[in-house]
Amino acid sequence: MNNWNELLKQSQQGNKNSYKKFLTEVQPFVKAVIYKRSENQSIIDDILQETLLAIHNALHTYDSTRSAKSWISVIAKNKTLDYLKSNQHKLSQAEDIADLKMESSNNDTNNYDLEKAMKQVSIKQQEIIVKMKIEGKTAKQTALELEMTESAVKTAAHRAYKLLKEFLEV
């Protein structure tokens, strides 16, 4: 980790090679910090991007006499919390839209749109959506039936909601 201190110090001097090496090496660590606060795989990459941008903008705040790991960790935690706070309503909105569309499918309206939208997600995700949103099963029950872990079901469902939302809103 001392290497990161050195790389950061050189980056502050404008050394692009050190900076590139640092940004590449630091990614697994940043992902681990984000994962501690959000196990949702689909958003980890988004937060990683925001954290890297924040690191770039906060480069002048790094004190080379202090731990680089601690500096990165605080930035990553902060960005994770910011992201979760600002996207909370969007994530639940995505689920709401999926709910609404599922209800409308029961009424035989907009079936065509929904069928098209469902083609955007994988077979597995379609199965999960049908089980959770039409059959009303919980993530745990769905996981048991599909022989998956509960968190994998939640992640797949979340990704599917996002895709459905994007498609249906266009």
Within 138-167, the residues that bind other proteins by CB under 8 A are none
Q: Which CB sits closer to other proteins, 30 or 98?
A: 30
Q: Which CB sits closer to other proteins, 24 or 107?
A: 24
Residues sharing a CB contact under 8 Å with residue 84, sequence separation 6 or more, in sequence order: 37, 38
Residues sharing a CB contact under 8 Å with residue 67, sequence separation 6 or more, in sequence order: 1, 5
Report the alpha-carbon distance of residue 165 to residue 163 in Å, rounded: 5
Which tokens is 155 given? 């992640």
Q: Which CB sits closer to other proteins, 1 or 134?
A: 1
Among 3, 49, 122, 138, binds other proteins (CB under 8 A): 49
Does 54 sit near other proteins (CB under 8 A)? yes
Q: How many CB atoms lie within 10 A of CB 115?
A: 10
CB of 112 to other proteins, least distance (A): 33
Q: What x/- string results for residues 78 through 117 when contact with other proteins is judged by CB under 8 A?
A: x---------------------------------------
As to burial, measured by CB atoms within 10 angstroms (0-12 exposed, 13-18 middle, 19+ buried), residue 23 is middle
Q: Quick one: CA dihedral 119, 120, 124, 130, positive or negative? A: negative
Q: Which CB sits closer to other proteins, 15 or 141?
A: 15
Enumerate binding residues for other proteins (CB under 8 A). 11-14, 16, 19-20, 23-24, 49-50, 52-54, 56-64, 66-67, 70-71, 73-75, 78
